[in-house]
Homo-oligomer: A and B are copies of this chain.
Amino acid sequence: MTVTTAAAPVIASFEGNMEIKRIVEAILFAAKQPMTCKQIQQVFPELEQPELQEVQQAVAAITEDYQSRPIELKQVASGYRFQVRSELSRWVSRLFEEKPPKYSRALLETLAIIAYRQPVTRGDIEDIRGVGVSSSIIQTLQEREWIRVIGHKEVPGRPALLGTTKQFLDYFNITTLNELPTLQRLDLSLDGKPLSAGKE
């Protein structure tokens, strides 16, 4: 096998403060949650805080450094986190004896409705699915911190309006709702005429 230098991070272009970059990298590795640049900045003691821009530069340089390594600094909804590159996940997944959780269709459909149609009430979800929504599904979604109550609808009973959280996006490895797959619809038609009144 030929020796290649591809895996060696090259940081020739980094003009920022080397020490700040080292600290930012250590913080990103040690954090148990994704971190925003603002949050990283605030880990520094008040009198030694770098400018936000310096943190951003450091993050960019670190991202660059790991370009050819088996892990990457990835931006998700609630900040940056180090994660194993997807092409290696098939190996890494063998590390864990426990099978990853499987989610039922009922849960996934409920989650999809909340994600694509938010804000929605429980009643809305039931209308779309045509069946009652079990409390345990809503509870599971809330415990996983994928959904939260984002307000109340001003109708009798003031039902809670549900929406998704940043943790939901983090879990699915994306930054914004826009990155969700686009909705594809089955075009049913009525007597040969497409139904144009359908909501989209």
Report which A residues bind B (CB closer than 8 A): 1, 3-5, 7-18, 21-23, 25-27, 29-31, 43-45, 65, 69-71, 82, 84-85, 88, 91-92, 94-95
* 23 A-B contacts (beta carbon < 8 Å): A3-B14, A3-B15, A4-B18, A5-B10, A7-B11, A7-B21, A7-B65, A8-B8, A8-B9, A9-B9, A23-B91, A25-B69, A26-B84, A26-B85, A27-B95, A29-B70, A29-B71, A30-B95, A31-B95, A43-B92, A43-B94, A43-B95, A44-B94
Other A-B pairs beyond A8-B9, A45-B94, 5, CB < 8 Å: A1-B15, A3-B14, A7-B22, A26-B71, A27-B92
**Chain B residue with Cβ nearest A39:** B95
Q: Known A23-B88, A25-B69; judge A16-B30 contact (CB<8 A).
A: no
Across-interface contacts of A84 in B (CB, < 8 A): 26, 29-30
Can you tell how many copies of this chain the complex includes? Answer: 2
- The answer to whether A44 and B91 have CB atoms under 8 Å apart is yes
Across-interface contacts of A13 in B (CB, < 8 A): 3
Across-interface contacts of A18 in B (CB, < 8 A): 1, 4, 7
Across-interface contacts of A95 in B (CB, < 8 A): 27, 30-31, 43
Q: Tell me how far the C-beta of A94 lies from the nearest C-beta in chain B, rounded to whole angstroms.
A: 5
**Chain B residue with Cβ nearest A82:** B29
Cα distance, A1 to B7, chains bound together (Å): 25
Give the top 10 A-B pairs by smallest Cβ distance, nearest first. Answer: A26-B70, A26-B88, A22-B70, A30-B92, A23-B91, A26-B84, A25-B70, A30-B84, A26-B92, A43-B94
Across-interface contacts of A43 in B (CB, < 8 A): 91-92, 94-95
